[in-house]
Each structure stands twice: as C-alpha cells, then as structure tokens.
Structure 1
C-alpha cells in the first residue's frame, strides 16, 4: 500500500518551499551569550545547548530568550545563576555535538533544546535518539557527570506558520522524535520534559509564527524550571 506521505509528497514539497520563501527571517537574540542573575552565594552554572530557540530567535536579547528566562526562574529563591547560551539556527543534534559542545564552559546543569531541525530534515527516530545520546556523552566528557534536561521536541502540529497537510505530517514526525528522546530518560541523571501542545497558542509565537516570542520563552522556561530546580537541589544536597 502506498503511504499517505508518499501520495502527498508533491503537495508537501510545494508547501515547504512556500513556507521557506514567505516566512520572515528573524535574527538570533542580541547581546552577550553569557550572563549572571545576581543572588546569594556561589552561582549555579547553567548551560543551554540547542537550535534556533537557544540562539534566541524571536527574542530581543538572550536575557528574554529561553536561557535567560530559565536562569531567572532558577534564581527565584535568591540564589545566583550564571548562564551560557550555546545555540545555532538550523542546527540538528549532530551539529550541536560537533560544533557547540567544544565551546561549553563548566556547568552544574545542562539543558538541551533540539528536535525541530531534525524533524524538518526527516531524521528517523533511531538516528535522533543515537545523536542525542552521543551529545549527552560528549557533554559529560566536557564538563563531568552533570544532570541533563532534555527539553521536549516542540509539537509542530501547533505551529501557525505551517499549512496543512504539512503541519500534520511534521506534527506527527515531531511526536515520534520526542518519544525517541524520552527513552533516554532511562539514563542516570537525564530527565526528559515534554512540551504540552496546550502550551502553544498564538500569543506564544514571534512575528514569524514559527519561533517562540518572549511570552513563549517565558512559559517554556517556567515549565523546565521545576524539573531543573529539583535536579540542582539533588546535586547540591548530595
């Protein structure tokens, strides 16, 4: 039987080309890629690795992007947090491992936010899981056996810039890759935090209707912060 994706291939290709041509190209966030949220004691060191969302596309500055917002959330109890954002627009998991991990500074917690580009590139679940595993291993070789948070692959079926049926196909593919990533939570010190589809509504997107805007980053950081605080508490109390 011919699959639905094969039957729809010409339509999907035409839609993908149209989306690429008409979607506004937003720059990454301005300003330094490291920062400090002032507080008490020695700062907790946070590093965030990933694709355009870590590059801060859709936010004016990194302080208003995912990394800066997460650092603020982790500093809620008065602790100091030093943060580093290592993101590249268009990067997949393999590119992040090869090009960005060598730039990683000492960290107490690493958050990885990937999956959209692996989805668009139609990578298999097996490849994505393998590339994420290789990335985790490379991170721990670089900075030690730190806790790692895997941010869930955003549910692309909720991206308003994508027309149907392209939105449905990429939505299904992003769910498959997210399930593959979730299996890595069996590793010690690795936690997967899925992104609920309900988190995404028009108010969360930037003007390109593809990347998060400041409100989207604020919500995402708040969701990741609860797990991150628990991991840090376990690390510093152990």
Structure 2
C-alpha cells in the first residue's frame, strides 16, 4: 500500500522526467553489417537472434562488434552456423511477434531473444508480459520448428546513466518485476532457457569501467562481447 501511494505521488514527476529523457537522449543508429550469413565448419546449426535495439546492435558501429557478431564467432568454433538477425529499435514483444509472422520458409534450431526493455517502458504489467512470452514461444516452435529458445534477462535499468532519479529507480523496480515473471515463465517451459548477465556485470571491474554506449542506455562493445560469449557457451553446453 505504501509503495502504491509513493508511486501515485511521484506519477507527475515521473511523467515529466520521461518526456525530458526522450527530448535530450542521443539517438544512436542500429549497427551496420549483414543480417544473415553462414560461418564456421562442423555440424549444421541454424540460429535466429531477434528482438529490440540491443539485438540490433545499437551502441556500436558494426554487427561484428555487436551481439550477433560475438555469438556467431563463438558458435562457429564448433558448428557451421547459418544465422539471421530480426531486430529493430523500439520493438516490444508484440512488435516482434508481428514481424516474425512475415518471415516464411525458415527453420531455426536455436533462438536468442533480447526483449523486454520497451515493454518495461510501456504501461504493460509484468503478468501480461508473461502471456505475450507464451505467444512468442508458441510462434517460434510452430512457425520455425525451434528446439531451444533463450531469453535474455531485462538489464538492470536502475544503472542506466541516461535516466534521472526517481525515474531510474522506478524503471529499475519495473525491470526487476519483469525479470521475476521471465524467470517464472522459463522455469515452467522446458524448451526455454535464461541468460542472466547481472552477476558477471557486478563482478567484472573492467566491464564496469567500460560502461555503456555513449547514449547511456545501450550496451558498449565490451558488454556485447560478454553477452555473446556467455550466450554461445550456454547454447553449446545445452547442445552437447
């Protein structure tokens, strides 16, 4: 009850801060480079990386420096990886579901998702998001015959330099609530896995010094590397 009353009192300030952030934020482009390809030798593996601006590589210049670059480079050490990237800045989960319906004739053994930040920024409730995750999972399994779906936890938005307080605190609380729903969902779905980088980010001093991209909202190249390498490691472990 107390928390609800605090949020009611802060609502006008949070709304003003949200407008202010949109006005002053630096808009970075999505990374350049190919959005599909084949890399490596060995057993065939088809991979889809999909989601929002982080999946699209916002914060670095080229896809080789972004999530899809690092994960495919790692997987290619053991597999012949045929990969595709379906991502766009601003994508919510429902946006991604709609975009995926337009892709025909594809099959993906493994899917890595970066989704949730824009849902946190929307009025959506975490339980409603869980229902959308179910729809997305069913779509990936039925439309693309996907065997394994890896979700990435929502990043700790309470640490985003772009955001002023108390908006930073509020969105951090929202992100944590969404992550609890995501963990619950993954725990109930055997085809799904979760990649949570929060521990690595807190323990690695070099990563903390590297910080985020210059907009204070998206990953820097060192963060993309940690993400891509960790995801590839978990995917290969599960495949083995």
> Is this a same-fold pair by TM over 0.5?
yes
Partner of 2:30: 28
**Contact 2:52–2:114 (Cα < 8 Å) also in 1:** yes
**Cα pair 2:49 2:86 within 8 Å, conserved:** yes
* Match runs of 1:14-93 below 5 Å: 14-37=16-39, 39-77=40-78, 79-93=79-93
Question: 1: distance between equivalents of 2:196 and 2:5?
Answer: 28
2:165 and 2:33 map into 1 onto residues whose CA distance is: 36
Determine which of 200, 211, 224 is the counterpart of 2:231.
224
1:198 and 1:101 map into 2 onto residues whose CA distance is 34
Output the aligned Cα RMSD.
Answer: 1.8
Secondary structure (helix, strand or coil) at the match of 1:123 reads coil
Question: Does the C-alpha gap of structure 1 residues 129 and 182 become closer, same or farther in structure 2, counting only changes over 3 Å?
Answer: same
Pairing of 1:133-152 with structure 2 (within 5 A): 133-152=134-153
In structure 1, stretches of 5+ residues that fail to align are 234-238
Residue 198 of structure 1 deviates from its aligned partner by 5.5
C-alpha deviation, 1:184, in angstroms: 1.9
For residues 67-88 of structure 1, give each alpha carbon's deviation from its aligned partner in whole angstroms, at most 9, with x where no partner exists.
12111122234x3222211101
TM-score normalised according to structure 1 size? 0.90
CA contact (8 A) 1:55 1:89 kept: yes
Unpaired runs of 5+ residues, structure 2, are 202-206
Q: Residue 11 of structure 1: CA displacement?
A: 1.3
What is the deviation of 1:194?
2.1
Contact 2:147 2:191 in 1 (8 A): yes
TM-score scaled by length of structure 2: 0.90
Contact 2:60 2:221 in 1 (8 A): yes
* Aligned mates of 2:209, 2:13 — CA distance in 1: 25
Instruction: Give the CA deviation at 1:232.
Output: 2.5
- The Cα of 1:103 is off from its aligned counterpart by 2.4
Contact 2:110 2:148 in 1 (8 A): yes
Q: How many pairs does the alignment contain? A: 231
Distance of aligned partners of 1:179 and 1:223 in 2 relative to their CA distance in 1, 3 Å threshold: same
Deviations 1:73-128 (A, max 9, x none): 22234x32222111011111111011134327321100111110000003111111
CA gap 1:10/1:198 in 2 versus in 1, 3 angstroms? farther
